């Protein structure tokens, strides 16, 4: 796992919880926040944004990722995720794949519960053998 300091973990968790407040969730009522740290040092918070047609819903993790990529970021150090669930919130399968395009398998993924307790894993543990640009063989 890429090294990450305790103070950085706490900071990312705080920003993920703040991002959760911006969730647009009229259908599920399930608020999620994420905060992605780019290697540039910049932070990209994101929230889930739902849609009346349901499937266009965007998860918090992808909102954070797409904001960052739009700003020119291509390398990332860590992500934290927060929700109101009583359980630890891990990224969904689609977000794991979206993150794998830009984030290394060793990138820490910090999953919290509502009390702010956390579990750290890596993207590689969450999505082994991700389909990557190299797999296109072009």
Is 21 a residue of the active site?
Answer: no
38 φ/ψ angles, rounded to the nearest 5 degrees? -85, 160
**By CB under 6 A, is residue 73 in contact with ligand THU?**
no
**By CB under 6 A, is residue 60 in contact with ligand THU?**
yes
One residue of 78, 80, 95, 126 binding ligand THU per CB under 6 A: 95
Please state, in angstroms and as integers, the Cα–Cα distance from residue 54 to each residue in 26, 42, 88, 137, following that order: 11, 31, 24, 34
Residue bearing tokens 């849609």: 51
Give yes or no for a contact between 118 and 13, defined as CB atoms under 8 angstroms apart.
yes
Angle at which helix 6-20 crosses helix 60-70, to 10 degrees, equals 110
Given 50, 61, 75, 125, the catalytic residue: 61
Beta bridge partners of 36: 44, 79
Nearest distance from C-beta of residue 17 to ligand THU, angstroms: 14
**By CB under 6 A, is residue 67 in contact with ligand THU?**
no
Give 103's DSSP letter: S
> In the range 104-123, which residues lie near ligand THU by CB under 6 A?
none
Q: Would you state the structure tokens that stand for residue 92, as one six-digit string?
A: 């969904």
Identity of the residue, 40 or 57, whose beta carbon is nearer to ligand THU in the bound complex? 57
> In the range 15-34, which residues lie near ligand THU by CB under 6 A?
25, 28, 30, 32
Q: Which residue numbers are catalytic? A: 61
Residues that bind ligand THU (CB under 6 A): 25, 28, 30, 32, 48, 50, 57, 59-61, 89, 91-92, 95
């Amino acid at each position: 796992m890429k090294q990450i300091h305790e103070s950085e973990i706490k900071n990312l968790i705080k920003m993920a919880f703040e991002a959760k407040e911006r969730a647009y969730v009229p259908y599920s009522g399930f608020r999620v926040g994420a905060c992605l740290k780019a290697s540039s040092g910049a932070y990209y918070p994101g929230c889930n944004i739902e849609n009346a047609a349901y499937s266009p819903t965007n998860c918090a993790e992808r909102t954070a990722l797409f904001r960052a990529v739009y700003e020119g970021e291509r390398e990332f150090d860590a992500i934290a995720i927060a929700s109101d669930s009583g359980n630890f919130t891990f990224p969904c399968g689609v977000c794991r794949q979206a993150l794998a395009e830009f984030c290394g398998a060793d990138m820490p993924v910090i999953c919290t519960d509502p009390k702010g307790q956390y579990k750290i894993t890596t993207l590689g543990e969450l999505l082994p053998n991700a389909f990557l640009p190299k797999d296109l063989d072009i």
